[in-house]
Structure 1
């Protein structure tokens, strides 16, 4: 019974994601891969070195360098040499990278308002409790 419900949830979640992606595709920046988005988010939240990013993404430093090259080519990030430690490269989102997050935040607000905003208060409270539990389970791994 439990496995059946988990499978049903998974199918419903996939269907919801597909419907949302289809409905809002015209508002999404489709120039980035999932790994590039994740790397850009890590840089935005303070990821600084290639080695550190490689550990966080569980990929090689050379793979991170390739992703960084693509992000820089597409003008989503900037790389500058630290004047105090010339061996260190400072990674920061460029204007286009910041705009990406602003656009995604606006899109997320729209989805929250138009989709989740239609749920009754009790359902939203239960959904938040469940999401907190799931986050706790993942953090415990």
Structure 2
């Protein structure tokens, strides 16, 4: 019984993701890979050492360097040397990187309004509770 419900949840979740992607795909910057987006997210929230980025993404520091090179060449980030500690590199979002997150927020607002906004408040509360529990389970693993 439980397995059938979980399979149904997976199917419905996949269907929702596919429908959202096809409906809003034209509004998303498709130049970036998933790992590049995660890296930008981390830089945006202040994680800027190559070692810390590698740890968060569970990849090697050389892989992080390659991702940073691509993001810099695509003008999403800016690297500079810390004048107080010349061995330290400062990573910041470039204008294009900041614009990416502005557009993402507008898209999220649109989806929230057009999709989640159609649900009754009680359903939204249940969804938050359930997603919170799922996140706690994954974090505990």
TM-score range, shorter chain: over 0.9
User: Alignment length, in residue pairs?
Assistant: 141
Taking the TM superposition and a 5 Å limit, the aligned residue runs for 1:24-63 are 24-63=24-63
Which residue is equivalent to 1:76? 76
Which residue is equivalent to 1:110? 110
2:123 matched to 1:130? no
Greater mean deviation of Cα atoms: 100-109 or 2-11: 2-11
CA distance in 2, matches of 1:26, 1:39: 22
CA distance in 2, matches of 1:3, 1:88: 50
CA distance in 2, matches of 1:4, 1:42: 37
Moved over 2 A (4+): none
Q: Secondary structure at the match of 2:91?
A: strand
Shift, 1:132, TM fit: 1.2
CA distance in 2, matches of 1:130, 1:87: 45
TM-score between the two structures when normalised by the length of structure 2: 0.97
CA distance in 2, matches of 1:84, 1:76: 24
Q: Secondary structure at the match of 1:92?
A: strand
Shift, 1:124, TM fit: 0.9
Tell me the alpha carbon deviations over residues 9-44 of structure 1, each in whole angstroms, 9 at most, x when there is no partner. 111111100100000011110010000000000111
Gapped regions of structure 1 (runs ≥ 5):
none
Tell me the alpha carbon deviations over residues 49-73 of structure 1, each in whole angstroms, 9 at most, x when there is no partner. 1111111111111110000000000
C-alpha RMSD of the superposition:
0.8
